[in-house]
Structure formats: C-alpha cells, structure tokens
Structure 1
C-alpha cells in the first residue's frame, strides 16, 4: 500500500516512483526469508552439512509430484550438487539483493526467482514458493533486460489537485518513514534470531504476533 502515490488517481508512471524505503524493505524481506531457511538447515540436521539431504528430500517433502519421483532417482553426486546449490542460493545469494550495482541486484533477484520456480516444478509447497517470489521482484527495476519485453513504457496523465499535492506528499513521506522505522525496529529480534545458535523457525518475537 505504500508503493503507490497517495495523491494520484491515475496509474503509476515514471514520475511517481515507489519509495526507496519500501523497496529496501522488500529486498530485506527476501534476504531474511532465504537466510533463515538456509541457516536453520545448516544448524538443524547433519544431512545438510554432509550434503546427503537431497537423497531423501523428494520422497519426504509435502505432497511430492510426478517429477519428484524422477528427481529422486538421480545419482548421489547430483544430489550433493543440489545441496551445494541450495546453500549458495540461501546463504550467499541473498546478499546480492543489496548489491551496490543494479546488475548485482538483478542477478540476486533472478537467482531467487529461478530457485523458487525449481521448487515449484520439483515439489508442492502450496503457495509458499509463489509468495516468496513476490519480494524478490523488488530486486529489479526498469533497466532489467526482460522488462522491455514484458512491459511497455507509457505515460499517464495524473488526475491531481496541484494545490494539495505538496502537502500530501510531505504527509505521505512522514507516514512512510514512521512505518519503515517501525518495521526495522520489529525486525531486530528476528534478525538476531537468524544468527542465534538456538534459531527458531516460524516464531513470533513480539506480543502482537507480527
């Protein structure tokens, strides 16, 4: 809701860019999700450390699909390679989402989305993988190579009242800064949990269960 202009009734155009604060939060979210998943694997089970987990994953995951059966039959060496790829995507690639250059962020977002697509093809985790793709999209911008094939640049006429636009923009900025600060504050404990020896998964860290 904070990614669209408050003072316009038209479609979003290039003159009303989303707030950089909330773009950062989306990238922060995908990084937290993937790091959390990767770290708890490393800490939680020896098979992720000795690279054997994928030998059992396809037959023990929630609702294996038809492709899962064939992937389960692949050689042990391929399963070890899969675990290494998993560790790279979940433990290293999330940092690419904060890269100082667009190309690095594009690579980070692309890796995360391709990884989720592979999980969708090879198993069935319901909407989890689809939902995880959403924040990864915020690693991209208008310079991403595929965008010119997917979207067409258009300019829309904004229906606004110029007299109140500036005041609303200031108010909108204040609200965004407050919400951003609140989310960062509430994220402190979850981030500390990521690096804790006793990491908890799917837990709440405040009395509001946020």
Structure 2
C-alpha cells in the first residue's frame, strides 16, 4: 500500500484529496435465515451426550459418530442460510435527520394514579429500521426490506444488525490507539 503525498507543508496540504481517501468504520456480520435449525442442533447435541455415555449401544441406536455427522450437516445447512451484511457508521447529523423524518405514534400508558393516558412519541422501531437501512453498505437495504427481515426472522436473529449499527456509531467517536514500531517506547526518545 503506497502512501500518497498530500503536500509537504501545511500550506501545500490538499485536504480534499486527503478526505477522498478516507472511510468510515465498517463491520460485516451474518444473519441466518433458517433459525429452525438451531433447535435441531440442540436436539442432536443432547442425543450425542446420551450416545457418548452408553457403553454398549444396541444395533438399533444411532452411534455418536453418526450423530456428529448429522450435526455437521445441520451446521452446513445453517451456514448456507447465512447472509453477510456489511454496515458502516452513520453520523449524528444523519441520525437526527432520519429520526426527524419518522412520524410519531400514539402511545397509551398509565400514570401514577392508574389513569390511562395517551401521548405522541417517536416510533422507536421505525427509527431503528431507518437507521439500519441507512447504515447498510452491502447488500444495500431499504427501510421496508429491513422491516420485512425483522418481521420474518424476529427481533432476536436480526438484533446483531441493530447492535452492530449502534456499535459502529460509537466506534467513530473514539480514536483507536495507533501501534508504534516494535521495539520502541515513548520514554526512549531523546
């Protein structure tokens, strides 16, 4: 990887060229489409434990080795159902603009006296879907697609996407420590 010279002095420095080379924090995570396979994995794990404890399995029983092969086949099917999604950090300005565009919804609650009250509040689920759609890089998703994925797969399986998007927003706010050359230390400078 070559380092581009953006100018040798502060007066010559080309900030626009430097910014063109920049990028936001990104992360790639997997979302699994077929979560019914997780229950199958748990069932086979239990059968393996039982088979491992048997000293003399009968001829009708499935051996622990055969169960391990079944387990691997289910793992392979689970892996085939995975979708890799790349997300990137979004800015506070983008977040505010997205949230401002989401209509409020009426929410009902009980006050301290037990009386039912209503108030209008931002739709937090719609905001989450919109922020996630904005954060997707590959495959690019619309708000409707994010919502459809969440509805079809459930909150648990898609939580990794929402959590990663939130983590990336935080990542961009903290500068990482930059490693120094091996063998050097800060207090060895003269």
Q: TM-score over 0.5 for the alignment?
A: no
The structure, 1 or 2, with the larger RCO (C-alpha pairs under 8 Å, 6+ apart) is: 1
Whose Rg is larger? 2
TM-score interval, smaller chain: under 0.3
TM-score, normalised to structure 1, is 0.24
TM-score, normalised to structure 2, is 0.26
